[in-house]
Amino acid sequence: MSKKQTFEESLQELEAIVSKLENGDVPLEEALAEFQKGMILSKGLQKTLQEAEKTLVKVMQNDGTEVEMEN
């Protein structure tokens, strides 16, 4: 059973993929597979950041309701 990766683990894996691809010593088929995996990781990381941003712009009121913070 595989557990869901943390944000940090996914980011570290994405960085390793980028480094591997930048090195250029990867066969084309493997490079394409790694690129696709990296894109999936990137989209997941972006989604996590967007959700975190939405959470951070809300303030909990005394009555338990949330309101958006004003900029």
- Domain coordinates of the chain in residue numbers? 7-58
Helices (H), the chain: 7-23, 28-56
pLDDT in tens, 4-25: 899 999 999 999 999 999 999 8
Residue with token string 């990296």: 38
How does the average pLDDT of the chain come out, rounded? 87
pLDDT of residue 64: 66
Q: CA-to-CA distance for 38 and 33, rounded, in angstroms?
A: 9
**Tokens standing for 2?**
């595989």
pLDDT in tens, 21-37: 999 989 999 999 999 99
Q: Are 21 and 31 in contact (CB under 8 A)?
A: yes
